Each structure stands twice: as structure tokens, then as C-alpha cells.
Structure 1
């Protein structure tokens, strides 16, 4: 998901998250469609060489915000990856703006990995307002060399032995990033005695309507079908690889667990979490569950057998943005992100930034995404799901303080 804000001021193992989707699946059954695709002549999947895992989808798996290990008023305290964080093609990005960071979760280490996901991507190929190409999970191609992620996967899998494909997609189709931007804008521009809540906005009513969620679930289903078609086009039978679909973490705490008062401007101007309490409760209690249930409905709509799921909805509990169990590093005695205990006290979500930081080292699109620590936690989840090639489903949660032997937050998959 991708977030854009403008500056403002305010006056004065089973599939546990598939259970609640039957009604939504029924709503989309008649309307579900599959993206057009003409398969090339089939050939056998590569028989030798290293095993590979591939990520496709959006910013929540591409590695957006992976440069920053926590939040601080001093960027030097949290800059884990430096200026080259998103340069996945040597001195440049292979696709401008995709932000495929070196901390991205697909780098699990038990197999070779390639990251085809792209920040800002939807189920279908598009271009953003800046003219950047955003490959969808389709077979788009053009004379400029742009490819949809399904076509890129097919090409890659034709030459490499792919054992697992991991998908994270759907948030941008539901417009969640734009809704979050609206939430912050309403926090900064409405007074505390008469707050304007984004949860009550027309945008929310439209984007989260049953009709729109059914349409998005249908598109997610078509995207997953495209992944399967890409692998078939590369010569794979269904049993020769595993498909894993990952849902979204909850990035914000409920109002009962937020560290900073909603009075004044500080919740946004100082701490980067400018949401009214009512909108915090809506985001964590309604919006994220609705998005994740739409993804589950999309899996069902695909009609694919044997899809594995990785449920990460509760993974960041206690490490959400502005949770009362976290601190900005500049408010601790720690030197920087390398200090012992930094991951334990830090937020695992990047703070919301506005155009006022446009000339800093930050990107606005990094806002409200899993940061370096968050991505390493997700990586550990995914490694456990990969399970040395014996891929399984599961729900991933944090497993206490400290880092593992490979420097990742401790998590467990059950």
C-alpha cells in the first residue's frame, strides 16, 4: 500500500482467517472473472540448480520503508540501510518507485530469492500520478519493456527452479492508503471539540461497501489465478511449487493502547500518528479485518486448491505505530538501532510523514509500512512457513524480547 499526504494544520495451520468469508464469496460468485491469458507452448520446469522463492504483490511485501529501523527525530539513529536501501539493480531500481529493499521478507536464506513485488501495485497494472509504472499481477507487456508481475514470474520461473511464490495484494485496490491519508488530514484540520472522523467519510462507505469488497475479492482471485497460470506457462504442475497468500499486519493500536494524547497537534507533528481515537479503533477493529477477510474471499474466489496462508494480522501487537509499549529512539538512552534492546522498544511501523519532509532522506510513500524491524519479523514468519521446502500455513505472532541468532525479532508460527 502507498500513502500520500499534504501538509495541514488544525485549528484550536488450517486456514484460520478464511472462516468468515462465505457471505462475501457468495456475493462474488456470479461476478468473478479471470484475466485474459494465452499460454505459450508448455515446457518442463527447470530440473536442476538452486531452489528459489519469489515474492509478488505490493509495498507490504516489496520492502517499502525497510531503510528505517524504528522512528526517531534524528534519522541517523534509525538509518539501517542507507541511501542504497531500494537500489535492487546495483546503482538504480530495476523498476522506479517499487522500493524493493534488501530487508524485504522474501530473503529467507533457506533458498535463493527474487523480489518482483512493487510499492503501489494493485491487482492490475497501472501508472501512478507521477507516471511511474506499477506492475499488477497480470501479463501486461509493452514496447518499453514493462511487464506485469505474472509475466515476470513466468519468465523467471522458466529459467529457475521456483519452489514457493508468496503474494501480498489487495490493500491498494481497497484504497486503504488514501483512507489513512484522509484520517490524518481530518485529525489535523478539525478541532477536538468537533472532530471529523474519516471512518464516517463517503470514501470509507464506498471503499468498504459489500459491493466494492466483492469486486476487489474477484480481482484478487483473478490475480491468484494469474500466478497459477504463470507457473503452468513456465512448465510447472501444481504439485511442483507452493503458493502462499499473506494478509496484512494491523499497523495501529487501539486508542486504549496509544502512547500520546489526541489533544493538540503532537500526535502527528511530533510522533507521526495523527489519528483521532475513534479512527484508531476503526482502523484496527474494522478496516484491517475487512481488508483481510476480502483477501480470504479472494483466495476462495480463485478456485485454486492447496493455497497456503500466512496470517500476520497480530504480528506487530505491542510494536504498532505509537503503541504505549514503544518509544521513539530519541526518547531513549539508546545510541541507535544497533544498540541492544532497540528492536524491543521500537515501533515496527514507519511513522506517517507529510510533504514537509519532502527534502529529507524520507519518502512519503514509506508512511505506515513495516520498517526494517517489521520486515525482519515478517521474514522470520515466512521462513517458518517455507519450512525448508515443506511449505505450511500458519498464524505468526511475536515471541518475546530479543533478537534471534540471525538478528531478527523472535516470532512463532502456529
Structure 2
């Protein structure tokens, strides 16, 4: 009888481990800052200089030991939100993976969760045997190791934004607004660059999803659900701002230094084409697709309707979610500074809670499905965190399903 190959022995060992794992199963997240929890320190916005002795009218969840009115705090400790992922272990700087305690996967109320996502990650940092990032192995190498003694029921993926240089686009557009005498809206510059960046994105995301499927099969857990999601727009439509298109109003007060034209352009030329490519890849790979583009409708930074926190509110008496912006504003600037530049235009605490609610409802819809489905979840205007409507369909059928 021929000797068994090492590969066959490894497969049998993996199968044995999978059969012996406890019944509890995990929901895990992979990807970048929009799912890692960047911005989760803040619950709402307020245009004040950061003061470690106050809780910033209840917006700063890192404040500790504060009096009931939000003053005389004993310390300001962002590690209470981001724990060990606050600092980059390679550089020692405070630009780590920023996995927050309110991240989408943690807010979804799954019994067991694991967040592998990392702020700033590209597809190459997620891929199996890809590139290390911020002192960590590629995320799928971490997942493969995790699967040795854990079962997984859901792998949720948010990726592609950093491949398209989201942060540079945001920076350029904001810089142009803040120097109106020498610059114009940024769309002209990026209209020349975006087609090339978008061209190869579908292929890179496809490789990531293929690697996820390979890792799950290698640990005999191919029954786990895989879902790829889009990005919620952090900015309102061009005609949806509550502040005039002026430096003082949009930048110094609102923390949203963008031209109307650039906001409209970002939706049409950036978020929509990216979503189209992610949707196409999900269909080709036969995995679920969650469209979050309009999840923050009427809750974007500087949108008409919500407001900033005001005096009298504190961590003991917070700005209500249904009145707040769900996106972190630009909290660093010439006249005041709060937190870190990386946090800007990411879902804040309320936004992450809302995304978690979306994910929880989405998973309930697809958990028992043996066919990939497409879903779009949208926030009902001017209502709170748990008022999302879901619309979806099973591929390749066109039967609609609705949840109120």
C-alpha cells in the first residue's frame, strides 16, 4: 500500500480538528478602517479644542473619571476604545489598526466575534500570504490560524477603498476647499486618475474572496457565509449641506471642508463605480453582497437634519443618536484639534452601531440561504439606530424580500 502523502495527512488532521471544535461559531470581519472601527471613539461632533479635563460635551468616549456634567475628567485614554490596536507596534505611533469596541462586527450582537480588520489595509494586506501590515501578518493568514481551533459562521469583508486612495482623495478635496484662492474643486484632477485605479480593483478583490474560500476549505469550514460590503457615503449630496459653502461655516464649524461639486462627484464617480465592481465580484464568486451606500442618508457629516453636541450634554446625558451625525468630522485643523486625522470621515460610534444593526439584520436574512443574495439597507430619515429597512434579492432570481 502506498504511503499517505503529507498533504493528505494534513487534510485529515484539519478535518478531525473541525469535527472536534465546540458548537459555538464566530462572526469575523476582514478589511480596512470602515469595518475595523476607526472613528469609534467619538459619539457625535463638536467644534471645540480638545480638552482632557472634559468629555467634550459627551462626544469623547475616551474621557474617564468625569463628573456628571462632563467636567473635571481624570484622564483621556483612547486605549479604552481601541485597546491594544491603538498604537502601531512597529512605529510606536498612535496610528494602529484602531479596532474599536463599537466596530460593526462588535455592534452586531453576535455571541462570538473576531475583528481582523485594520485601518489603512489594502487588498494586499488581506490576501493569503500577502503583505504584513502594522506589525501583523496578512489578515487571511491570521484567519487561517484562528480556524485551527474556532468555527466561523460569517466572514464579512470591507475592502477596496485604500486601493483607490480614499484618504488621499479626501485630503486633496479638503485642501482645495481650504485654499480657494489658489485651487478649485478636486474632481478634475481625480477624474484623470480614477479610471486607472478602478481598472484593476475587481481583480484584486476577486483574489481576496478566492483566498477566503481557499482558507475556509482548507479548514473544512466551507459552509461559512461570506459577504462583501460597500462603503456608506460619509458626505451628503451637494445640495444636502446645512452649512453654506464658506470656509468658516464648512471648515471651522462643520468640519466638512468640501465643495458641493466635489461631494456630488464623489458619489457618482467614486462610491457608485466602486460599489458596482464589488457587486460584480460578489456575483462571480457567488458570495453575498451588502450595499451600504445610503445607510447614513440624512446622517452624514454636515447633513441637513442632525446637529452637533451642545453645552449641557455629557457622557451622562449624551447627544441622542437620532439627532447626531453618524460620521466623524475633520477634527484637526488650524484653530482647534481633536483626536487624529485618520478618524475623519469614518463612521463614529453611532455610525458603527448603525452598521452593526444592518449587519445583524442582514445576517438573519441570509444565514440559512444556500444561494448568494444581494441586499441594500437604508436608514429611515430622521429616525434612530434600529430603524433600517432591508431590500434584497436572491441571485439569479428577481424575487424581492422586504423587512420593515
Number of paired residues?
349
Q: 2:57·2:315 contact (CA, 8 Å) conserved in 1?
A: no
Q: 1:252·1:321 contact (CA, 8 Å) conserved in 2?
A: yes
| Partner of residue 310, structure 1 | 290
**TM-score scaled to structure 2, two decimals?**
0.78
Q: 2:30·2:158 contact (CA, 8 Å) conserved in 1?
A: yes
**Which among 368, 380, 392 is matched to residue 390 of structure 1?**
368
Residues 75-84 or 176-185, more deviating: 75-84
**Which among 168, 188, 206 is matched to residue 200 of structure 1?**
188
After superposition, the CA RMSD in angstroms is 2.9
Distance in 2 separating the partners of 1:39 and 1:380: 42
Written as runs of structure 1 = structure 2, the 5 A alignment for 1:286-297 is 286-297=269-280
Distance in 1 separating the partners of 2:313 and 2:270: 36
Distance in 2 separating the partners of 1:337 and 1:318: 24
| Partner of residue 98, structure 2 | 99
Deviation (angstroms), 1:266: 2.9
**TM-score scaled to structure 1, two decimals?**
0.77
Distance in 2 separating the partners of 1:393 and 1:339: 39
Could you say if the C-alpha distance between residues 98 and 268 of structure 1 is closer, same or farther in structure 2, counting changes exceeding 3 Å? same
Q: Secondary structure at the match of 1:291?
A: helix
Could you say if the C-alpha distance between residues 261 and 92 of structure 1 is closer, same or farther in structure 2, counting changes exceeding 3 Å? closer
Per-residue CA shift, 1:161-181, capped at 9, x if unaligned? 100000000011011221111
Q: Secondary structure at the match of 1:56?
A: strand
Written as runs of structure 1 = structure 2, the 5 A alignment for 1:102-117 is 102-107=101-106, 108-117=108-117
Distance in 1 separating the partners of 2:23 and 2:82: 26
Deviation (angstroms), 1:92: 6.8
Deviation (angstroms), 1:85: 4.2
| Partner of residue 63, structure 1 | 37
Written as runs of structure 1 = structure 2, the 5 A alignment for 1:4-403 is 41-42=10-11, 43-44=14-15, 45-46=18-19, 47-74=21-48, 75-82=56-63, 83-89=78-84, 97-107=96-106, 108-125=108-125, 136-140=126-130, 146-191=136-181, 196-201=184-189, 203-206=190-193, 208-209=194-195, 211-237=196-222, 240-300=223-283, 303-305=284-286, 307-330=287-310, 335-336=313-314, 339=317, 342-354=320-332, 356=334, 361-387=338-364, 389-390=367-368, 393-399=374-380, 403=384
Distance in 2 separating the partners of 1:244 and 1:356: 41
Deviation (angstroms), 1:288: 1.2
Could you say if the C-alpha distance between residues 169 and 145 of structure 1 is closer, same or farther in structure 2, counting changes exceeding 3 Å? closer
Distance in 1 separating the partners of 2:264 and 2:22: 51
Distance in 1 separating the partners of 2:145 and 2:247: 53
The runs of 5 or more residues in structure 1 that have no matched partner are 1-37, 126-135
Q: 1:217·1:295 contact (CA, 8 Å) conserved in 2?
A: yes
The runs of 5 or more residues in structure 2 that have no matched partner are 1-6, 49-55, 64-77, 392-404
Larger relative contact order (C-alpha < 8 A, sep ≥ 6)? 1
Deviation (angstroms), 1:357: 8.3
